[in-house]
Amino acid sequence: MAQADIGSKRLISLAPDAWVKWVTNLPNAVAREILGSEFQLVSRENDVLLKASNGKGLDFLLLTEIQMRPDPRMPKRIRAYAGLAEEKYNLLVYPVVVNILPPEIPRKIRSRYESDLMNIKARQDYRVINLWEVDVAEAFKPQGIALLPLAPVMKGGDRESVLQRAVEAVEELPASEQIQDLKRILGIFATFVLGTDLVERIMSLESEALRESPWGKQFLQEGVQQGMQQGMQQGVLRTLQRLLRRRFGELPSSVESDLAELSAEQLEELVGVLLEVESLEEFIAAVPAMAV
């Protein structure tokens, strides 16, 4: 299967009218045309530029970016994309960012770009939809066909029963080539929260589809990076524990537990702290997160 077939453009093209209605909260909005094949800056795998109407005579551009996790670079990117799209098509732009999974480290998710250079101000707002905050019931409403593939990553959707219900809902749709694409995308998103084994047991998920999907690629890369980081963290942790025992003897279990929660970078900093302190108590006091 071609990569574009299981990316954002394919997902939205399966039910463009339903998608436009959902992200804009306009019940009469309709999709006109998916654009962007010649608009290089908006032809990335996760970006979709679509011409739409509010149902009352106003045409506009809907710019959607579906990303795995919130990206702190997004405000600048949306500002640039929206400006270029408005200039090219001479239509106002409604930008939307859809985040599939929450940030690995909790942080504020921005919904606007702002700058101020010598009192010259610029601002670009955009709508942010965090799928883990959207109730999975939305996917099973009459107009929810666009959301069915997203059900597993929505609030309350990370359950086997939800995946089974979503598969049944997809299979009840009129037979077409789109059904297979809906099921493939559903399987990819389900893998993020339920694991490959369970998804393969419930539905026929092609491993090739997961690898070719831009989201699947990022998910697999995250897994590799996480494994490397965990390995690094364990190595630094063992080194620090060994040095602490050499200086101060056996460590309290509370100290062991606190150290195990720290990142490799934090543990490396503590190695430097250890070289400067005279007692275990002083070491603990020098680390606010470990203070008792």
pTM: 0.69
pLDDT of residue 289: 54
Exposed / middle / buried, residue 291 (Cβ in 10 Å: 0-12, 13-18, 19+): exposed
Q: For residue 292, what pLDDT band results from cuts at 50, 70 and 90?
A: very low
pLDDT of residue 33: 93
Pair 63, 89: CB distance under 8 Å: no
pLDDT of residue 5: 40
**Residue 195: CB atoms within 10 Å:** 11
| In the predicted structure, residue 221 carries a pLDDT above the cut 60 | no
| In the predicted structure, residue 207 carries a pLDDT above the cut 70 | no
Q: For residue 32, what pLDDT band results from cuts at 50, 70 and 90?
A: very high
Residues 6+ apart with CB under 8 A from 65: 8, 46, 47, 48, 74, 77, 78, 81, 95, 96, 97, 98
Q: How much of the chain exceeds pLDDT 90, in percent?
A: 40
| In the predicted structure, residue 224 carries a pLDDT above the cut 70 | no
Q: Which residue has the tokens 């996790």?
A: 69
Q: For residue 204, what pLDDT band results from cuts at 50, 70 and 90?
A: low
Pair 277, 271: CB distance under 8 Å: no
Distance CA(22)–CA(117), nearest Å, equals 36
Mean pLDDT on 132-148: 90
Q: How far apart are the first and last CA of the chain?
A: 56
Strands annotated E in 69-194: 93-99, 112-117, 120-125, 127-130
Mean pLDDT on 101-126: 92
* Nearest CA among 248, 236, 251, 238 for reference residue 277: 248
Average per-residue pLDDT for the chain: 81
| In the predicted structure, residue 170 carries a pLDDT above the cut 90 | no
Domain boundaries, the chain: 1-38, 47-132, 135-212, 218-286
Mean pLDDT on 104-110: 87
Lowest mean pLDDT among 29-33, 203-207, 274-278: 203-207
Exposed / middle / buried, residue 168 (Cβ in 10 Å: 0-12, 13-18, 19+): exposed
Instruction: Give 63-78 pLDDT, tens digit per residue.
Output: 999 988 899 999 999 9
Distance CA(103)–CA(97), nearest Å, equals 14
